[in-house]
Chain A
């Protein structure tokens, strides 16, 4: 079993839709959670970062963590064609800097 599971998609939605991206993880020792966006052939760009269970909002993006279920989500409201990219969840321990990434979900937002 992989430490982090993420549905690779692809996911295609119309412009303006609400997008939900999800990851599950297996180890309750994980303590911090991130979402990265990666455009084709570019470096991952940090979108959201959180330690705790609950919601964290930044503009059109909301990150949700449920530690009891070992489940994290990223919601994108009013999706735009410029949001078309691969979204990667990343999870880490507090002791040590290694990040473990999901496989990434490829998102396409159609005008």
Chain B
């Protein structure tokens, strides 16, 4: 157990809908990262927050957004969902803002029908 928690474990929804994925980092970690894993693209970095502020952005779609709250948990919002958004979404956390080891949560499996 990495200490990173994610909810829900599974999510099934329809195209055009909006969902929210939640992540709680390990105790003491200030950075939260979101990654998307699909069969064709592998594990891709989406976005990083450090102590409530956006720190780095990857190839995150405009339909996706995230935030980190004062208690350091983070939410990833996915809207206007398309079939191609079906994937595993992972949250990871680390102590600092750069150069440190990242510990991954168990993931949320999203299926868009």
Instruction: List residues of A whose CB falls within 8 A of some B CB.
Output: 31-32, 34, 36, 41-46, 49, 88, 92-104
Contacts and interface: CB of A to CB of B under 8 A. Distances in A.
A98 B58 contact: yes
B94 interface: yes
Contact of B98 (A34, A41, A97, A104): A97
B25 interface: no
A63 B19 CA distance: 39
Interface of B: 2, 4, 31, 33, 42-45, 48, 50, 55-56, 58, 88, 90, 94, 96-107, 109
A94 B100 CA distance: 8
B100 A103 contact: no
Contacts of A49: 101
B36 to A, nearest CB: 11
Given A43-B106, A98-B58, A99-B102, 9 more contacts: A32-B99, A46-B101, A97-B50, A97-B100, A98-B56, A99-B45, A101-B44, A102-B42, A104-B43
